[in-house]
Amino acid sequence: MLLKPNKIKKKLNEGKVTIGTCMTALCTNLVELAGYSGFEWCRIDTEHNWRQDTTVENMIRAAAVADISPIVRIDKDDPYLIRKVLEIGAEGFIIPDVRSAEEVKRIVHAAKFPPLGERGFSNLCFSGGYGSVAADKWVKWSNEETMVGVMIETKEAVDSVDTIMAVEGLDFVLFGPADYSMNIGLGKPAKNDPKVQDAIKKTIAAAKKNGKHIMLGIAPPWREEADKYMEMGIDMIEVGHDYSVLGRSWREAMKEITA
């Protein structure tokens, strides 16, 4: 992956829609399969599961093999994880449960080398070719090509979404309808509830105003949902999770076989 342009960032900046999926099973083979299936990126979710061993590194290597861009969701309030996930080759990362512009500024600061931030330097890592590329070129590539993302998933965040989106260095947000539903007291994930839909629309409007991008997960019927949200302005479409897609397929197969 030595100093390759970030094809997802390039495509988004050209005004095009990108399509990916989410990996909740920490499986290298599934990352490769997602790439061979035509997905452009995969969101590797380590917020709710992570053994903190070499698994994510190997998933990112699998992404390089299959030419799919890895975007990793990592835990909040640990700036060192930001540096570490970029060093092992993530082309982007997402921090969950962000609620203010000040939080976003700290995240950007942790992700960027000086003068844009305060990320600690070492190019003796996968993304730096273990020191085999010129340090100044790697620093420039790291500051320009990696993508910074945060999650909008609370009323507090939606209320502050205009100032959040205005933060320089933020590239995209992932709207979390499930947690937003819970946060506003709906008691369960309810993406189609009018209050949730209004929050999605407000987030999209703020993103477009500030030149940022929006990621949102969709569910069956795939084409109907994709068309709906692309028309609304979502430009990073996430096609389900590995668990949900596989589980649905298995349940449908069992229902058909045992009918």
Active site residues: 48
Radius of gyration in angstroms for the set of CA atoms belonging to the chain, rounded to a whole number = 18
- Write out the H or E segment, with its range, that includes residue 90: none
- Burial class of residue 119 (count of CB atoms within 10 Å of its CB; 0-12, 13-18, 19+): buried
69, 91 contact by CB (below 8 A): yes
Residue 218: which of 19, 14, 5 has the closest Cα? 19
> Where does the chain have alpha helices with state H?
7-13, 28-36, 55-66, 79-87, 101-111, 135-145, 155-159, 161-165, 177-183, 194-210, 222-232, 242-258
